[in-house]
Amino acid sequence: MTFASLGLIEPLLRTLDSLDYKTPTAVQAQAIVPILQGRDLMAAAQTGTGKTAGFALPVLQRLMMEGPEVASNSVRALVLVPTRELAEQVLQSFVTYGQHLPLRSFAAYGGVSINPQMMKLRKGVDVLVATPGRLLDLYRQKAVKFNQVQTLVLDEADRMLDLGFASELEDVFRVLPKKRQTLLFSATFSDVIRSMASEMLNDPLSIEVSPRNAAAKSVKQWLIPVDKKRKGELFLHLYQTKRWSQALVFVKTRKGVDELEAELQRHGISADAIHGDKPQATRQRALQRFKDGEVKVLVATDVAARGLDIDTMPLVVNFDLPTVAEDYVHRIGRTGRAGSTGQAVSLVCADEVQLLSAIETLTQQVLQRVDEPDFIPDHRVPQTLPGGQVVKKPKKAKKPKVVGGGKSGSLGRWMETDEPAAPVVKAVRKVPSFGGVAGKPGKFTK
């Protein structure tokens, strides 16, 4: 299948050619034609599947082919996203894919001054990518009108609900034109999302492009047991001995992020950090420097776990396990994207065994354990079993060995020789009940 056979117009085909996109991904193959035809869509697709182009290309084409010119303070296609990072990334996709089209795109999100955004909206924009909280602020200040909206895209709808945007979304839906196209993308389809979809969508086409954790399938995953206080030391040891080229490292707290960043810099490693306390411009710069390869280690809280598309990111390190098991899937989804393979290693201490067990239950796999000889923990991490059980009385550690999956050897050998089984995620995350929750914008999106 080619992009031309999907009916895309020449300026878009030219751009795709220059980007070297040769064939449509599964989500693009299924979504582009119905979107061009004006149908509503309910799509189960994660980042990494090419979903952004899956909606951006046909939305841009429809903006070119249909509807009046954009009026002042108006918007023709509205894309709602959960975080400012994703807003920037989705905007970038629209700008890239629309480079040969005379259309204006813009992103509006919280955490930065609203005035420049109000100025920018004065002339009107064809595509507005926005986080729900800031969009409502702009609407209430009469900086944006919705009467020209012909297409609404909800990107990562599950994440928006998780971040407490339920009531903001309801408020936005209430003021949008009833006659419009609606495209809903979500990694998971809980009952709440389904009921939202049944209210929002008109005879939608449902597509599911791949299992929910498709991104994780190309990711080798393992864990290294370690005492909590030695995690920093272990990370440095691994970084140096395994000659990691680049790593995205997830740490639980903002304080922890700053501490690890400082520790790495003390050892001459070019490290930067992103978390919710940092100004937006600083976060964007850190991400850009990481993407450009100037920064070798990017340390982040879960604000960076979703949506970020970093080409050829080879390695994700879970310095701390996430407290919400599903964030594990999203974290490791930052690597192994668009067909490449990646690695994800978790440094796990005894305190985290319940978190580990929750992750293993969710992903229906027992993570491969690889002991690092000089870092065998004094507080042994209890063995976990399939089905989320934790073996309560562990034996004392004797000598380095590999457990879980019955494989043996050092980390280096294991990485060369073995592929852990791909996890299959089936559990459904709990989300607030749509419409019944007085949600607040998440702290990262304000």
Residues within the interface to ligand AMP (CB under 6 A): 21, 24-25, 28, 47-53, 309, 311, 337-338
Cα(273)–Cα(115) distance, integer angstroms:
28
* Residues 207 and 27: beta-carbon distance below 8 Å: yes
Our CB check for ligand AMP shows the closer of 47 and 148 to be 47
Sign of CA dihedral 434, 83, 333, 351: negative
Our CB check for ligand AMP shows the closer of 336 and 404 to be 336
Place of tokens 């992020």: 257
Identity of the residue numbered 78: L
CB neighbour list of residue 254: distance below 8 Å, 6 or more residues apart? 275, 276, 277, 301
User: Least separation, in Å, of the C-beta of 421 and ligand AMP?
Assistant: 24
Residue 372: Cβ within 10 Å count: 19
Our CB check for ligand AMP shows the closer of 131 and 365 to be 131
Our CB check for ligand AMP shows the closer of 96 and 265 to be 96
User: Least separation, in Å, of the C-beta of 368 and ligand AMP?
Assistant: 26
Cα(329)–Cα(305) distance, integer angstroms:
9
Strands (E), 13-139: 41-44, 75-80, 105-108, 125-130
Kind of pairing between the strands at 389-390 and 384-385: antiparallel
Strand order in the sheet with 247-250: 271-274, 297-300, 247-250, 315-318, 342-348, 219-225, 368-370, 402-403
User: Least separation, in Å, of the C-beta of 216 and ligand AMP?
Assistant: 14
Q: How many residues does the chain have?
A: 446
CB neighbour list of residue 378: distance below 8 Å, 6 or more residues apart? 227
User: Least separation, in Å, of the C-beta of 339 and ligand AMP?
Assistant: 8
Our CB check for ligand AMP shows the closer of 78 and 90 to be 90
* Residues 331 and 250: beta-carbon distance below 8 Å: yes
Our CB check for ligand AMP shows the closer of 29 and 315 to be 29
User: Least separation, in Å, of the C-beta of 57 and ligand AMP?
Assistant: 9
Structure-token pair, residue 128:
């507005």
User: Least separation, in Å, of the C-beta of 311 and ligand AMP?
Assistant: 6
If you ran DSSP here, which 8-state letter would residue 369 be given? E
Q: What is the CA radius of gyration of the chain?
A: 23
User: Least separation, in Å, of the C-beta of 91 and ligand AMP?
Assistant: 13
Of residues 265, 95, 80, the one with CA closest to residue 183: 80
Our CB check for ligand AMP shows the closer of 24 and 377 to be 24
Kindly state the helix (H) or strand (E) to which residue 10 belongs, with its residue range: helix 10-19
Our CB check for ligand AMP shows the closer of 307 and 322 to be 307
User: Least separation, in Å, of the C-beta of 384 and ligand AMP?
Assistant: 31
User: Least separation, in Å, of the C-beta of 265 and ligand AMP?
Assistant: 29
Our CB check for ligand AMP shows the closer of 313 and 381 to be 313
Identity of the residue numbered 157: A
Of residues 38, 51, 66, 64, the one with CA closest to residue 181: 38
Our CB check for ligand AMP shows the closer of 275 and 337 to be 337
User: Least separation, in Å, of the C-beta of 19 and ligand AMP?
Assistant: 7
User: Least separation, in Å, of the C-beta of 56 and ligand AMP?
Assistant: 8
Cα(288)–Cα(90) distance, integer angstroms:
15
User: Least separation, in Å, of the C-beta of 315 and ligand AMP?
Assistant: 17
Our CB check for ligand AMP shows the closer of 28 and 182 to be 28
**Helix/strand/coil (H, E, C) string of 278-315?**
CCHHHHHHHHHHHHCCCCCEEEECHHHCCCCCCCCCCE
At CA 250, angle to CA 246 and CA 252, rounded to 5? Answer: 160
Our CB check for ligand AMP shows the closer of 168 and 309 to be 309
